Structures are given as C-alpha cells and as structure tokens.
Amino acid sequence: MSKLNKKKKVRRTKQDQNRKVRYEDQDEKPEYRSDNTAIVKFDPLQRYLSEISKHKLLTREQEIELGKRVMEDGDSEAAYILVTANLRLVVKIALEFQRVWMQNLLDLIQEGNIGLMQAVKKFDPYKNVKFSYYASFWIKAYILKFIMDNWRLVKIGTTQGQRKLFFKLKKEKQKLIDQGFDPKTKLLSERLGVSEREIVDMDQRLDGWDVSLDAPLKDDSDTERVELLNTEVESTEDQMAKKEIETLLHTKVAEFKKTMTPRELEIFEQRIFSDTPATLQEIGDRYQISRERVRQVEKNIIKKLREFFKREIPDFDFFDRVKGFD
C-alpha cells in the first residue's frame, strides 16, 4: 500500500473515531433498527404544505402585472407564478369543505388547484378585482362539483333540487325559526320548491355529517375533526375586496331598478329580493292579475336582470353558475 493511501486510511479512521466520540458525548448517535419503527412516517399532506410555503405571496401590483402578461401575451411563466403564489389559498378553501368531505383533503386540494388554473386563464386585471377574491369562486366551484360527483358514502345527487337543498336547507330552517315558524317538512318543501321526500333525505344526511364532526380522528385520540377546521378570519385585503364586490352589486342593482315599471319594481322587491317574499296570490290581488301572470312577470324580471348583469359586471356568467342565482 502506498504512503498516500496509508495516510488517507489513517485520516478516515481518525475522523470516524472523532465522529463516534461526538455522538457519544452529545447523545446523538443515530439508531438503526431492523423493525418498521425505524421508517420515518411520510405524510403527503405535510410534505405538500411544506413545499407550497416556499412560494412567496404577491402584492396587488404584482398580480395585476402578471395578469396582464397572461391575458395579453399568454405568458406561461407569469401564469405559473400566479398559480404557485395562490396554492395556499386553495388549501384554506379546501379546509372549509372538509366538514362535508372528511376524507383525503388532498383530493379537494387537487380539484381546487384546477379551479385556480382556470381563474388564471379567465382573470381580467383591468376590472379592479383582487385576484385572490376572483379565484376563490373558481376554486370553490371545482371543489363543490368534485364533492357532489364523488361522495361515496352518501351521494348528494345531481338534480337541481338536491343541489339547492345541499346549500339552502339549513339556512332556510334557521330563517323560519327566526321568523317564529316551525320548520316542518311541508313548509320547507314549499319554500324551496322540492319534494318532501327530498327534504327528509337531505335532512338526515346533513344531520349525519354534523354528528361525525364530533367523532375523534382515531379511536384512541381525543382530537375531534371539528378542531381541524380552519378558523382564520379574512384578511383586511380580502374584506376590502369583498366590500368592493358588494358595493358594485348594490350600485348595479340600484341602476337596474330605475329601468322597471312600478309593478315590476314591487315584484322585484317583494318577491325576488325579499327575505320574506310575498306569495304570488298576494301580489296578484294587489294588481288584480292572476298568480300565473305574476309568475310570468317575475320570470321576465329575472331574465332582464341577468342580461343587465352580463353587460355591466365582468364574468357574470361564471358568478351566475357558482352562486346559483335564481
């Protein structure tokens, strides 16, 4: 063996000995086990959250500049930056829907990411709407569609009535209670325009989901699922963006009212935009017209309102589909 090799061997031996002493002194010597306890548990969700946290958040000015590059030049790099900077927004929204999904959260995140990419494609930076607020509607739409299409244990269903129930049943029950009414199945059926059988079925499903929120994560765990729900409040910027949208809607509704006749305006305010809508018969008696005629006028007002919003509000077609404006 050459002198050089001998020196290298001696140097490695000393390094190994020093390393051994250091481990023994600091109680850091790694343990190597043959059983499965030596395997570090791999949490895909935690790994994903760690990865997306590396992407910096964008300022409003950066969002606008990137949005212009995407819209005008089809800049894929700008689109990538917009998407990656908002991946945490998708996680936040997905957590809000965990109460009804309660399965693999990554499924919801994946669908939400698709919605986020669609938002990047459709975003118009010249409309003075914050990107995160605009994107949240696309994200929610894709997540909701996924839940409705893939619920394995209790299929929500795809009929218009079932979708309406999913969003409105509990709200309508509470509204009736606040007004002093007993929210019986028949009354709910009339208010929501669905069958009594559908009311009963969905009520049972929603009650089942509420109970499961109090269930522990594991048999030996004291942590309940409800404790994992996101409790963060909206940021000041999100609140301001939301206020901008609400102000815009109120302004446009006020403008639309000026285009209506006195009879249309009363039907609009007493039927369409009222928390306690008057019946068709009450409106008909007031104007000495049939209930069917009132229904026709109401339908025509809604049609004109949609057309007005499509002209005046950016991307109203999408908001119409997501919010179920009817």
Domain layout of the chain by residue ranges? 44-152, 154-230, 236-323
**How confident is the model at residue 29, as a pLDDT?**
37
Q: Give the per-residue pLDDT at 210.
A: 41
For residue 123, which of 136, 112, 142, 110 has the smallest C-alpha distance? 136
Please state, as a whole number, how many other Cβ atoms lie within 10 Å of the Cβ of residue 83.
Answer: 17
Which amino acid belongs to residue 133? Y
pLDDT band at 92; cut points 50, 70, 90: very high
How far apart (Å, rounded) are the C-alpha atoms in residues 267 and 260? Answer: 10
Closest CA to 154 of 210, 195, 101: 101
Q: What single string gives the DSSP state of each residue in 253-279?
A: HHHHHTTS-HHHHHHIIIIIS-SSPPP
9-44, pLDDT tens digit by residue?
A: 445 444 444 444 333 333 333 333 334 444 445 578
How far apart are alpha carbons 90 and 143 in whole angstroms? 10
Q: Give the pLDDT of residue 89.
A: 94
Given this model, what pLDDT does residue 205 score?
61
Report the alpha-carbon distance of residue 137 to residue 44 in Å, rounded. Answer: 26
| For residues 66-93, average pLDDT | 94
State in words which class domain 44-152 has: mainly alpha
Note the CATH number of domain 236-323. Answer: 1.10.10.10
CA distance 295 to 178: 27
Q: What is the pLDDT of residues 135-181, one digit of tens each?
A: 998 998 888 888 766 654 344 444 555 656 766 777 788 888 888 88
